[in-house]
């Protein structure tokens, strides 16, 4: 946003746009993993228990280990 502020200060026209859901189509060059812990993990497992049951890990709370296919 800093370049936009500089151009606006100089009196130039500035246009900013957003491409909705562009991050859903971003390619990733490495494997990314994440943990969902506690309530959010439990809700996802309840929603699709047949799919996520084998990825549950119980430590102090329920943890769901996931591999991310698209950028967050």
User: How does pLDDT run across 1-58, given as a tens digit for each residue?
Assistant: 788 788 888 988 777 777 777 666 677 778 888 888 888 888 888 888 888 878 777 7
Per-residue pLDDT at 55: 79
pTM (two decimals): 0.46
**Closest listed residue to residue 68, CA positions, set 20, 25, 22, 32:** 32
Calpha distance 64→39 (Å, rounded): 10
């Amino acid at each position: 946003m800093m370049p936009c502020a500089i151009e606006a200060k100089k009196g130039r026209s500035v246009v900013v746009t957003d491409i909705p859901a562009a991050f859903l189509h971003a390619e990733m060059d490495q494997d990314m993993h994440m943990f969902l812990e506690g309530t959010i993990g439990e809700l996802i497992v309840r929603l699709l228990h047949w799919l996520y049951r084998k990825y549950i890990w119980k430590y102090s709370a329920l943890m769901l280990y996931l591999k991310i296919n698209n950028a967050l």
